[in-house]
Amino acid sequence: MPSSPACEILPWHQDLWGVLAASPRLGHALLLAGPAGVGKTRFADALGRHLLCATGSACGQCRSCHLLTVANHPDLVRCAPAPGKTEIPIDDVRELTAFLTLTSHLGRGRVAIIEEAERLSRAAANALLKSLEEPPLGAHLLLISHAPERLLPTVRSRCQRVNFPVPAWEEGLTYLQSVGCPQPVAALTLAGGAPLRAAALTAADLQMGEDLLKALEDVRSGRLDALAAAEVWHKIDGHKAFAVLTALLARAIQRTVPVPSGDRPDPLADRLQTLVVGLDLRQIFGLWDKILDHRGLLDAPLDRRLVWDEVFLVWQHMSHQTA
C-alpha cells in the first residue's frame, strides 16, 4: 500500500488537502498560518511530498518519495530557528535562497520549508523578498507561522495565505483518543483546542492545569487570599502557567453560552462554567486582556510577582462583587 499523503493528512485537514493538492495553480509561496499544535508542519511536509514526487501524487514508491521518507531529499531544505535562538538569521535565508536557484536534482523543482517564519530577523525577511517576488523556476516556498501578524507585511503580501484554525472540539477529542491520550478532555482544554499540542502535554502540565483551576476556585470562594495564591504562582514557569490560565479562561468563556446538545460529558468544562457563573463577561474579558498584556513582562524577574498579584487581585475583586 503506497503511503499517499492523504493518509498522513490529519482528519480536520482532509477537505483543505483535497482543494490544495488538486489545485493546478498552487502559489509558489504559501503562508501556512494558524495556532501552534494544529498540524501546519505536518501539512507542509505532505505538500512537499506531493510537489516533489515523480508522479505528482506522493506515490510512496518513487526515488523521490523514498528520499523524503528517510529525510534525505536533495531538493528539499528546511529552515527554523536554531535551538535556543530567537531569530532565523540572514545567513540561513541566503543559503536557502541560493539552494532554490540551483537545478533540481530529481527534476521536480525545489521546496523550502521555513518553520516559525515569524522569527525571521528583519534582514532575513528582506533577503527572502526577492525569492518571493521572482521565484526561481520550479521553486516552492512554504512558510509556517503561528504568529503571522509578526511577519513583515511585505513578506505576508507576497504569499498565498492558507489558514489553519483550531478544529472542532469533538474532532480534536476523537483524534486524542485515537492516539491514546490518557486525559483527552483536560489536555484539549489546556491546549486551547489544538490537538497536537494537547497530545504533547505532560502529566506535569495537566497537573498545573488542575492546580491553577483549584487556585482560581479557592480565590473565588474566599478560601484562599489573592496574594497568597500569587505567592505560590509567581515562582512557577510563568509562560506555561499563563498559557494554561488563558486556556482555562477561554474554555470558561465558551461555556458561558449554551452548550450544543450531543456533547459528551465534560466535568472539567462544568467546573469552569461554575467558576465564572454570575461573573460579568466584560470583566472576564478585561482580565483576559490584562493577562495577554502581561505576558511580555514575565521574563523580568522583579515584575513577575506584581503580575501574579494583579491577576489574582482582579480575580478576587470580580468574585467578591458577585459573591
Residues near Zn ion (CB under 5 A) are 53, 59, 62, 65
Minimum CB distance to Zn ion smaller for 61 or for 154: 61
Please, what is the minimum distance in Å from the beta carbon of residue 53 to Zn ion?
3
Smallest separation (angstroms) from Zn ion to the CB of 112: 19
Distance CA 262, CA 252 (A): 19
Q: φ, ψ for residue 141 (rounded to 5)?
A: -115, 125
Closest to Zn ion by CB, 69 vs 163, is: 69
| Smallest separation (angstroms) from Zn ion to the CB of 58 | 6
**Least distance CB 108 / Zn ion (angstroms):** 9
Beta strands in 10-109 (DSSP E): 29-33, 76-79
21 or 186: whose CB is closer to Zn ion?
21
The sign of the torsion formed by the CA atoms of 32, 36, 42, 43 equals negative
What minimum distance in Å lies between the beta carbon of 76 and Zn ion? 13
C-alpha cell of residue 199: 497530545
**Least distance CB 107 / Zn ion (angstroms):** 12
* Residue 65 or 124 with smaller CB distance to Zn ion: 65
**By C-beta, is 51 or 196 nearer to Zn ion?**
51
Query: What are the C-alpha distances in Å from 188 to residues 181, 193, 205, 206, 284?
Result: 10, 5, 12, 10, 21
Long-range contacts of 187-193 (CB under 8 A, 24+ apart): 189/247, 189/248, 189/251, 189/268, 189/269, 189/272, 190/243, 190/244, 190/247, 190/248, 191/37, 191/247, 192/35, 192/166, 192/243, 192/246, 192/247, 192/250, 193/166, 193/167, 193/169
When the beta carbons of 7 and 259 are compared against Zn ion, the nearer one is 7
Instruction: Output the nine-digit C-alpha cell for 318.
Output: 470580580
